[in-house]
Structure 1
Amino acid sequence: MTATATAPSGAKIRVPHFVRGKLVYGEDTEYHSRDFGVPFVTPRLELGELFVPRTEPGPAFDVPVSEIIDYLVETGKHLTLEKNAYLQESLEMTLRVSALPRRIIENTFRRPGQFLTREALEYRIERTFGGGAVLDGWAEHTDPAGRVSRVRAFPPRLVHMLAGNSPSAAMTSIADAALVKAVNVFKMPSADPFTTVAVLRTMADLAPDHPVLRSMSAVYWRGGDARVEGVLYRSQYFDKLVAWGGGDAIANAAKYVAPGFQLIAFDPKVSMSMIGREAFESEDTLREVAERAATDATVFNQDACVAPRHICVEGGLAEADRFAALLCERLGVDREFASAAGPRTPSDVREAVDGLRFLEPDYHVWGDYDGRGLVVRSPEPVDFHPTNKTVNVVPVEALADAAAFATVATQTVGVYPAHRKAEVRDRLATAGVQRIVNLGGALSGSIGNPHDAMYPLHRFVNWVVDDDA
């Protein structure tokens, strides 16, 4: 397992493509990274090489899912940063384009190990499909009238717009694509055009001609390039576009939806927290709750959908202010996926907060703009987008009242104490919320559950019926 030398600081980064099992280097096209505008170069994009014609089955269409799991489990054993030269190279290049520090990026590389175990992968298949039979062949059923049919979760042809806020997203997306035996094109994000190829190179070292590997291509083009997307985003070649991204990226992707070509959108979400009166039972309890809330709010320095932007506190101004002061202290702490001082507060947020400082006592501000944490208490959610470790605290008379601030764009809601989730979960679900967790558990998650109100693998496949009726 040997990686090429990392480009010296200041030089253009060479980003290889991986096309249906083959590594491709080239310096034909220059792009720039999302956050810092760092230049990188890629090979020429040969669109005709990225897909298997519909007249042919995909390489992995008839590979038993048990064999695919074997391959993924073995791959997972080799995705160890300390021993994997490809991941090490990817790390060094990611550091040049990412706003996250080395320690946090290293931790993200280690995170997917818990999802690439045999037990976890088999559990996901069982939870989503009731077992692998419907993936491996035609599962026969007889309806109440005695009519027989056979159903298969048929392997799809997918284009993936990968998320760019965590290297672990590339690893889990590859695993998902493999489990459904898809033909895949991964559009790598400009914030991390490295990790996807690093994982595929690891898989190639283990089994260079494996059907799963020959089903996968990882390439880069600038998002929104109609010369590329106008060709690939067609039902002649692919069934579905699996899109992670911001509002503009998802809106652009939606333009290509047409009969036979679907969009599965993991569109931009925000999260919030709800804290009950029980948090004020003692000073120690309040400090624990503030720590839990800060742990959630600082995931990837708040550059994650699960990180709450707004926190509703059951109580009056005095309770909200006690909590907000403690929260501000805990935002400026090093954690596994957060740094004590993150990127400074962006100018638009600074300008909005500066205006609110003149509106005491309805509004109050704790902290500064140095990236260590900023808390704004307001009578209702602020009309700007809190980011870079900025949290909006809103007092409410009753915990259930906070559900009025949730919308279909609200992904995760952390609740304290845990037993009060049952009190608010139906209201939250009615508002459009997709996930309710214990406060402090936003980044954690049970394996096999829905994501963004769907079972993704269930959506990926093409459900086909052979009906005798």
Structure 2
Amino acid sequence: MNDFGNIKFMLGTQDTLLDIRNQKPKSPFSDEIICFFDSLSKNIRNNKDSRSFSDVMTFGFWCRKKGILQYKEQYGDRLKATLGRGTTLHFAPSNVPVMFAYSMAAALLSGNNVIVRLSSKRSAQTDLIINGLKKTLNEFPEMKHRMVICCYEHDKAITDKMSQLCDLRIVWGGDETINEIRKSPLPPTALELSFRSRSSMAMIDAAIFRKIEETGDIVREFYNDTFLYDQNACSSPRIICWVGNQEDIRKAKERFWYEVSVFTRNRYYLEPALAVKKRETSFCLAANVPDVKIIADDNLIVRVELPHLMQEAWEYSVPGGFFIEINVEKVEEALPIFTAKCQTLSCLGFSHEKIAGLLVENQVSGIDRIVDFGHALDFSLTWDGIDLIENMIRKIKYYNKRVVG
């Protein structure tokens, strides 16, 4: 147990790892941890190199003191008589470089210690956040005993040992990744949260879009939701649902996709492998679904219009500027495609409250988030319908008995 093999430590050491279970859990949203994140926020945002990466700056803004205090206020009395579960082990995803930081932050805010296993695919965003953490830890030396960030190649023996150190394991990844990690047993009292790969969609009211005179912000927000991560984020729309009559939809599509294409052309680099995958998938759809319409002036944006609603559309969604489109007259007609595969619904022209009511009324199995354009990638402490803080804390139940005598 004292030798974890070929692990590369980005934060902490093997001694930190071996001692981490001796660090007692804290109360959620403690003053110390809030100050820690406020300092981290400043260290990230004051680094001029961070300004080249919007996702890094977004995380830096997210963890500022004002934002954390707003989260704390939302939990209110639910945090009474609670502590962190102990040590959390995080398997970070490779498709969204900054997600490890949000997962780590949720655990620390809950009062836990953290061990993070990063993907072997390094990124500038990851390095910037880790550098910010190192600087912040010099200001909060006690926290150095509570945090380990490391990297190792897929090795079940190491994962076995890591898993025995934790009270809660958090896994971000596809079904194959989750199933592989689950082969490593947990201590009897430990819990697991897993976040599988999912897809998302956007819904646009065609008539409302046509009435908007200046659409520059909408196009930019759609680009940020989709192309920033090659549509690899679970919350990035891959299916576009247009709502309205045929004429409004036709004209709205023409304008929308023209403006998205112009905006994207000089900002996005299409990887050759993705270019091939997009063509392959569109032809596969055409071969299996009669009357589909493939629209691609070039290979930057490939659209496939479906002749009718089909749940199988999710199986054909791929990243890199590939969009499957469906047309409906009313929102209710789209309900069958809101399967468990769908995580986020990005809306333009719809009331979030009404959409949520419709989902509950019809007992829909999918959609855990409803957001405006430009907010698909925003992180929340409720993810995939799971309240992270609630699941990362231990509640001490007590009863007030009448005092006699």
Query: Is TM-score (shorter-chain normalized) higher than 0.5?
Result: yes
SS of equivalent to 2:240: strand
Q: Distance in 1 between matches of 2:28 and 2:327?
A: 55
Partner of 1:219: 150
Pairwise CA distance, 1:350: 1.4
Taking a change above 3 Å as real, the CA distance of residues 231 and 389 of structure 1, as seen in their structure-2 partners, is same
In the TM superposition, what are the counterparts of 1:252-263 in structure 2 within 5 Å? 252-256=180-184, 259-263=188-192
In the TM superposition, what are the counterparts of 1:195-206 in structure 2 within 5 Å? 195=127, 197-206=130-139
Pairwise CA distance, 1:435: 0.7
Would you say 1:269 and 2:216 are equivalent positions? no
Whichever residue aligns with residue 304 of structure 1, its letter is A
Taking a change above 3 Å as real, the CA distance of residues 393 and 289 of structure 1, as seen in their structure-2 partners, is farther
1:43-102 Cα shifts (integer Å, max 9, x gaps): xxx5x7514375x343x637981122112212221113645xxxx5xx8xxxxxxxxxxx
Would you say 1:245 and 2:149 are equivalent positions? no
Partner of 1:428: 359
Whichever residue aligns with residue 128 of structure 1, its letter is Y
SS of equivalent to 2:197: coil
- Which of the numbers 238, 263, 270 marks the counterpart of 1:342? 270
Pairwise CA distance, 1:177: 2.9
Q: Distance in 1 between matches of 2:340 and 2:220?
A: 27
In the TM superposition, what are the counterparts of 1:449-460 in structure 2 within 5 Å? 450-460=382-392
Would you say 1:118 and 2:46 are equivalent positions? no
Whichever residue aligns with residue 227 of structure 1, its letter is A
Q: Distance in 2 between matches of 1:64 and 1:310?
A: 38
Pairwise CA distance, 1:291: 6.4
1:18, 1:218 within 8 Å by CA — same for their partners in 2?
Answer: yes
SS of equivalent to 1:465: coil
Taking a change above 3 Å as real, the CA distance of residues 290 and 167 of structure 1, as seen in their structure-2 partners, is closer
In the TM superposition, what are the counterparts of 1:170-319 in structure 2 within 5 Å? 170-192=100-122, 194-195=126-127, 197-207=130-140, 210-223=141-154, 225-234=155-164, 237-256=165-184, 259-279=188-208, 281-282=210-211, 284=213, 293-315=222-244, 319=248
Q: Distance in 1 between matches of 2:287 and 2:216?
A: 29
- Which of the numbers 326, 329, 336 marks the counterpart of 2:258? 329
Q: Distance in 2 between matches of 1:458 and 1:342?
A: 40
Partner of 1:168: 98
Q: Distance in 1 between matches of 2:10 and 2:217?
A: 47
In the TM superposition, what are the counterparts of 1:21-170 in structure 2 within 5 Å? 46=14, 49-52=16-19, 56-58=22-24, 61=26, 65-80=30-45, 82-83=47-48, 88=49, 106-130=53-77, 134=79, 139=80, 151-170=81-100
% identical aligned pairs: 18
SS of equivalent to 1:339: coil
> Higher helix fraction: Structure 1 or Structure 2?
2
Q: Distance in 2 between matches of 1:359 and 1:387?
A: 20
Alignment length, in residue pairs? 382
Pairwise CA distance, 1:16: 5.4
| RMSD, matched Cα | 3.5
SS of equivalent to 1:387: coil
Taking a change above 3 Å as real, the CA distance of residues 233 and 254 of structure 1, as seen in their structure-2 partners, is same
- Which of the numbers 330, 338, 344 marks the counterpart of 1:406? 338
Taking a change above 3 Å as real, the CA distance of residues 423 and 70 of structure 1, as seen in their structure-2 partners, is closer
Whichever residue aligns with residue 230 of structure 1, its letter is D
Taking a change above 3 Å as real, the CA distance of residues 190 and 442 of structure 1, as seen in their structure-2 partners, is same
Pairwise CA distance, 1:18: 4.0
Structure 1 residues not aligned, in runs of 5+: 1-14, 23-45, 92-102, 140-150
SS of equivalent to 1:79: helix
2:85, 2:167 within 8 Å by CA — same for their partners in 1?
Answer: no
Pairwise CA distance, 1:354: 2.8
Q: Distance in 2 between matches of 1:303 and 1:377?
A: 21
Whichever residue aligns with residue 79 of structure 1, its letter is I
1:150-182 Cα shifts (integer Å, max 9, x gaps): x32344210011233344334333432322231
SS of equivalent to 2:166: coil
Whichever residue aligns with residue 386 of structure 1, its letter is V
Whichever residue aligns with residue 94 of structure 2, its letter is G
Whichever residue aligns with residue 9 of structure 2, its letter is H
Taking a change above 3 Å as real, the CA distance of residues 156 and 333 of structure 1, as seen in their structure-2 partners, is farther
2:87, 2:113 within 8 Å by CA — same for their partners in 1?
Answer: yes
1:272, 1:309 within 8 Å by CA — same for their partners in 2?
Answer: yes
1:242, 1:265 within 8 Å by CA — same for their partners in 2?
Answer: yes
SS of equivalent to 1:347: helix
Pairwise CA distance, 1:186: 0.7
Q: Distance in 2 between matches of 1:340 and 1:53?
A: 43
2:40, 2:60 within 8 Å by CA — same for their partners in 1?
Answer: no
Taking a change above 3 Å as real, the CA distance of residues 291 and 315 of structure 1, as seen in their structure-2 partners, is farther
Q: Distance in 1 between matches of 2:29 and 2:293?
A: 60
Q: Distance in 1 between matches of 2:381 and 2:350?
A: 19
Taking a change above 3 Å as real, the CA distance of residues 349 and 19 of structure 1, as seen in their structure-2 partners, is closer
Q: Distance in 1 between matches of 2:306 and 2:291?
A: 6
Partner of 1:351: 280
SS of equivalent to 2:386: coil
Whichever residue aligns with residue 36 of structure 2, its letter is Y
Taking a change above 3 Å as real, the CA distance of residues 176 and 362 of structure 1, as seen in their structure-2 partners, is same
Partner of 1:438: 372
Pairwise CA distance, 1:356: 5.0
Taking a change above 3 Å as real, the CA distance of residues 398 and 243 of structure 1, as seen in their structure-2 partners, is same
- Which of the numbers 2, 9, 15 marks the counterpart of 1:17? 9
1:51, 1:183 within 8 Å by CA — same for their partners in 2?
Answer: no
Whichever residue aligns with residue 201 of structure 1, its letter is K
Q: Distance in 1 between matches of 2:147 and 2:284?
A: 51
1:174-228 Cα shifts (integer Å, max 9, x gaps): 4323222312111012233653532332223323xx22221001111124x2111
Structure 2 residues not aligned, in runs of 5+: 1-6
Q: Distance in 1 between matches of 2:263 and 2:219?
A: 15
